Amino acid sequence: MMQQLHEAKAYIQNNTDNFVPEFGIILGTGLGALVKEIEVQYSLSYADIPHFPVSTVESHSGKLILGTLAGRRVIVMQGRFHFYEGYTMHQVVFPVRVMKLLGVQKLFVSNASGGLNPDFNVSDLMIQTDHINLQPSNPLLGPNLDELGPRFPDMSEAYDHKMVQQAVEIAAKEGFTIRTGVYASVPGPMLETLAEYSYIRTIGADAVGMSTVPEVIAARHMGMPCFAVSVITDMGTPDRIKKVILSDILDAAAKAEPLMTRLIRELIALQ
């Protein structure tokens, strides 16, 4: 695997004039417009990068964008990979590991999720303060990659406390509502049953989705501080559950996207 990671790294470096990114960004379902804020210098198709998986989900375009955002050098995944697509956990986090080898210092992640906290509303933004891993696997199973990190990484600060506080302050300054809470990651691709929503809320989650946690585990294994924000695209509380299709999720994400874009841009400027 280390050979594959280094081959992917070499391809990216050779096709971007050895561009060295400071920050990595993963854009979730319906949240690709942040790219419009980036001064794009290079754009690579996942299909051309050695050993990269290819996005199979609608709204995930499958491009690696390199450029500057708020004056800082960034590498952006416009489209991510999920366990439910049939990829292994090692494949899901492969790009995050490549980011680290390229020089990325901090990871920023966005996702679309279902709201479980009754105080939340559709299109709210929730800063993740912690997570619950309900995926059937994780990217650290198997032999440890000592070149990347320790066998038993600490996860007591999965999400960087300073960046969480900075994001809360940005929202207050900009005058928009921000939520904070715990994100539960499930395998999907089906949405939850009524009993599952109730169970996941009972064990302490404020939102539930199908991504983010594997990438954060891999990033923390490599010592990268992480920040994650969820867009609440539907509600899983007993009084507001309704049948949802992908277009509903994309519409709800689109309404929140301008605020999420502003939040991440301003947060990166502070780093």
- State residue 242's pLDDT score: 82
Measured between alpha carbons, how far is 199 from 187 in angstroms, rounded to an integer? 15
pLDDT digits (tens, 9 = 90+) for 150-180: 999 999 999 999 999 999 999 999 999 999 9
How many structural domains comprise the chain? 1
Nearest to 178 by CA among 106, 266, 105: 266
Residue 28: exposed, middle, or buried by beta-carbon count in 10 A (0-12, 13-18, 19+)?
buried
Q: Given the structure tokens 């320790």, which residue do they identify?
A: 150
Measured between alpha carbons, how far is 199 from 205 in angstroms, rounded to an integer? 9
pTM of the model: 0.95
Per-residue pLDDT, averaged over 69-97, amounts to 95
Which residue type does 111 have?
N
Tell me which residue range forms the domain holding 8.
2-270
pLDDT digits (tens, 9 = 90+) for 199-255: 999 999 999 999 999 999 999 999 999 999 999 999 999 888 888 888 888 888 888
Nearest to 80 by CA among 56, 113, 108, 50: 56
CATH of residue 196: 3.40.50.1580
